[in-house]
Amino acid sequence: MIRKRRFPIVGDGRGILSLIHVDDAAAATVAALERGAPGVYNVVDDDPEPMREFLPGVAEALGAKPPRHVPRWLGRLLAGEAAVVMMTELRGASNAKAKRELGWQPRYPSWRFGFADGMG
């Protein structure tokens, strides 16, 4: 959808996206099983990013044209309220607890590194 410019930035695109590479998620899971106290850990990379920066970054990495922008009202019609909230209000997450309590570090500190490695 990004390659075909069918995944637009909705509204101001300020929603913060937290991502994780599958290898990092697996390593954090092993760390939690081996030495983690019961509880919730946010397992995300170190680089939460607003959708208005993430989508153009992915498009560029794919060699695609930049995403279009649509207003909130049109995004709501096309994708629904949940998608609009994700694109404009999502807050992102911190991995500080997982790093501190599990001794875990993501191999890919930014989605950009993991994405580039997967493309290569």
**CA–CA separation, 105 and 95 (whole Å):** 9
pLDDT digits 0-9 by tens, 16-61: 999 999 999 999 999 999 999 999 999 999 999 999 999 999 999 9
> pTM for the full model?
0.85
**Model pLDDT, residue 114:** 80
CA triplet 97, 32, 35: central angle to 5 degrees?
100
Nearest Cα residue to 13 out of 47, 44, 55, 48: 55
Domain coordinates of the chain in residue numbers?
A: 9-104
